[in-house]
């Protein structure tokens, strides 16, 4: 199929006349007519009905012209980008766990984007989906979170899937709650202090290839009878702020977030479990300047929040 013939057909469809299209394109009318006949023969369809009223699109012709316009626009965009020196679109994508220090890093990183066209994708989800996003869904970077006791399992699995990995942070979860929660006034908090209250938990903890029931048991202690499962991080802060019976296990939060939602952050002296956040990307992927800028902001944010 000849792209030039496609262009002629779009112009004829626009003007409804071979003669008018010939004048616009500055080409002899018989040449346009012959080109359209060749195009119809190549495709095995009739694009136009010829009548005394001019060139009228057939139903097949209308469908073809829609596709043709889209193809020609893409060709124009490519020519504009590479022949006329149009700025190249900046692209960045990352899939991450829900964490204040990571979202803060992304917010600071977003201030560094130049005035050139840009597309940035930031998705919060669990480790399994992050791995899938990096392997299959064109997210260039990911950060996965897992408990230290799964370290060997995850490293082996990442290597088998052809993913490079770098340690970002290690930390122990802390408790956040409303300043009006009775727990907020306690000097020390133990596991035994928590059962009377409502735990807010993310609804999608998941370790690939392990039974979900086992992971839930590992992540969520059995001594809590009331839980609210959520997916959205913004909702967790509203719940914690408005319901003074609630608490949540989180990676350390920023004072700015705590003040905004009238929350307080407390340690639990019984909690010794260590978590790891690990940056992942495909083995053959070369980090872009934007990627490196984000990693710089991530390291800065980690130093502020995960002391």
Report if residue 168 sits inside a domain.
no
User: Does 233 or 157 have the greater pLDDT score?
Assistant: 157
8 A C-beta contact, residue 280 and residue 202: no
How does pLDDT run across 51-73, given as a tens digit for each residue? 877 889 999 999 999 999 989 88
- Report the domain count for the chain: 3
Of 83, 109, 133, which marks where a domain is finished? 83
d(CA 25, CA 28): 9
Q: State which residues form the domain around 74.
A: 3-83
How does pLDDT run across 122-147, given as a tens digit for each residue? 999 888 889 989 998 779 999 999 98
pLDDT band at 219 (very low <50, low <70, confident <90, very high): low
Of 83, 113, 145, which marks where a domain is finished? 83
Q: 286: number of CA atoms within 13 Å, CB side?
A: 1
Report if residue 169 sits inside a domain.
no
Q: Are residues 261 and 223 in the same domain?
A: yes
Report if residue 167 sits inside a domain.
no
Q: Which long-range contacts (CB under 8 A, 24 or more apart) does 253-256 make?
A: 253/100, 253/174, 253/176, 253/305, 254/100, 254/101, 254/104, 254/304, 254/305
Q: Are residues 158 and 291 in the same domain?
A: yes
8 A C-beta contact, residue 297 and residue 93: no
pLDDT at 215: 47
Q: What is the pTM of this model?
A: 0.66
pLDDT at 282: 93
Beta strand pairing status for 174-178 and 90-96? unpaired
How does pLDDT run across 255-290, given as a tens digit for each residue? 888 999 999 999 999 998 899 999 999 998 999 989
- 253: which 2 tokens? 């939060």
């Amino acid at each position: 199929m000849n792209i030039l013939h496609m262009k002629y057909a779009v112009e004829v469809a626009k003007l409804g006349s071979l003669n008018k299209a010939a004048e616009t394109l500055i080409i002899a009318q018989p040449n346009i007519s012959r080109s359209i006949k060749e195009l119809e023969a190549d495709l095995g369809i009739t694009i136009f009905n010829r009548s005394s009223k001019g060139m009228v699109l057939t139903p097949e012709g209308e469908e073809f012209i829609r596709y043709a316009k889209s193809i020609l626009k893409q060709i124009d965009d490519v020519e504009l980008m590479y022949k006329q020196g149009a700025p190249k679109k900046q692209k960045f994508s990352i899939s991450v766990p829900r964490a204040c220090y990571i979202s803060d890093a992304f917010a600071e990183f977003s201030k560094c984007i130049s005035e050139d066209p840009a597309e940035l994708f930031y998705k919060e989800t669990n480790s399994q989906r992050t791995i899938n996003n990096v392997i299959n869904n064109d997210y260039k970077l990911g950060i996965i979170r897992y408990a230290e006791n799964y370290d060997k399992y995850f490293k082996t699995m990442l290597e088998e899937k052809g993913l490079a990995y770098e340690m970002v942070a290690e930390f122990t979860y802390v408790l956040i709650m409303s300043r009006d929660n009775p727990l907020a006034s306690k000097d020390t908090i133990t596991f035994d202090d928590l059962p009377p209250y409502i735990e807010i938990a993310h609804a999608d903890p998941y370790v690939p290839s392990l039974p979900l029931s086992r992971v839930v048991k590992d992540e969520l202690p059995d001594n809590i009878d009331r839980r609210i499962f959520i997916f959205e991080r913004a909702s967790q802060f509203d719940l914690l702020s408005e319901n003074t019976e609630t608490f949540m296990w989180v990676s350390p939060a920023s004072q700015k977030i705590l003040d905004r939602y009238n929350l307080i952050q407390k340690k639990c002296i019984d909690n010794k479990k260590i978590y790891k956040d690990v940056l992942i990307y495909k083995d053959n992927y070369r980090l872009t300047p934007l990627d490196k800028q984000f990693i710089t902001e991530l390291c800065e944010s980690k130093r502020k929040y995960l002391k």
